[in-house]
Amino acid sequence: MKLYATLLVALAVGAGTPVSWHTYRGDHLSLRYPPSWTATARPLTAVTSPGQAIAIGSYRFPTNAAGADGCEPKEALDAIPVGGAFIFGWDYGQLPQVELRKSFPRQPRHFRLAGLANYECMGHSYMLRFQAAGRAFQIHIYLAPKATAATRATVLRILDSFHANKL
C-alpha cells in the first residue's frame, strides 16, 4: 500500500495539470484546480489590505453568516473535512524592490511544503512567501490531520500552476 501511495504521488507531481481542471482567475492571477475542489473570490475575512488573492479548498466553503475571526478565515477553516486541504493567500501588491528581495524570494518553479508552524491570524499552516510579476504573495496551506499523500500532491500541483501578471 505504501508503494502504491508513493507511486501515486510521483505520478501526480510529475504529470502536468490535467486538461479537465478548472481555472481560478483572480486579480491578474490564475491557478488551476480539480473539478471536485472549490475556489472563490468571495472575501473570507474582513481584511481589505493586503487583498485576498486565493481561496481554494478540497471541499465546499460554507456560505452562512458566521464570518471570519479578524484576519483568520475561520468559517472556511472550521469546515475542512478530516482529509481535506485549504489554500488561502494574500496579495501584497507591488512592494519596493528592497523589501521584495529581502522578504519575498522569486516564485519557485515547483513549490514545497516545509515549516509547518503557528502563524498570527492564520493558525497552524504552511506559509509560502514569494514574488511574481513584481508582486508579493503570502499563501497559507492547511492540510487536515488525515490528508493523504495524494491530497498533498494535488495541493502542490495547484500551487505550481500559479501564474501572476503585472498590475
63, pLDDT greater than 70 = yes
DSSP 8-state class, residue 68: -
What pLDDT does residue 67 have? 56
User: Distance between CA 116 and CA 127 in Å, rounded?
Assistant: 7
What pLDDT does residue 65 have? 52
User: Of the candidates 8, 108, 86, 71, which has an alpha carbon nearest to the alpha carbon of residue 40?
Assistant: 86
What pLDDT does residue 165 have? 92
Report pLDDT digits (tens) over 47-58. 888 999 999 999
Q: Output the DSSP codes for 76-134.
A: HHHT--TT-EEEEEEEEE---HHHHHHH-PBPPSS------EEETTTEEEEEEEEEETT
Report pLDDT digits (tens) over 100-112. 778 899 999 999 9
Residue 30 forms beta bridges with which residues? 25, 163
The residue that leads in pLDDT, 14 or 148, is: 148
16, pLDDT greater than 70 = no
Q: Which domains does the chain have, with CATH numbers?
A: 2-164 (3.40.1000)
What pLDDT does residue 135 have? 93
What rounded mean pLDDT belongs to the chain? 86
Angle at 117 between CA 36 and CA 13, to 5 degrees: 40
User: Distance between CA 68 and CA 55 in Å, rounded?
Assistant: 13
Q: How many helices (H) and strands (E) does the chain have?
A: 4, 9
CA 154 to chain centre: 11
154, with CB counted inside 10 A (0-12, 13-18, 19+), is buried
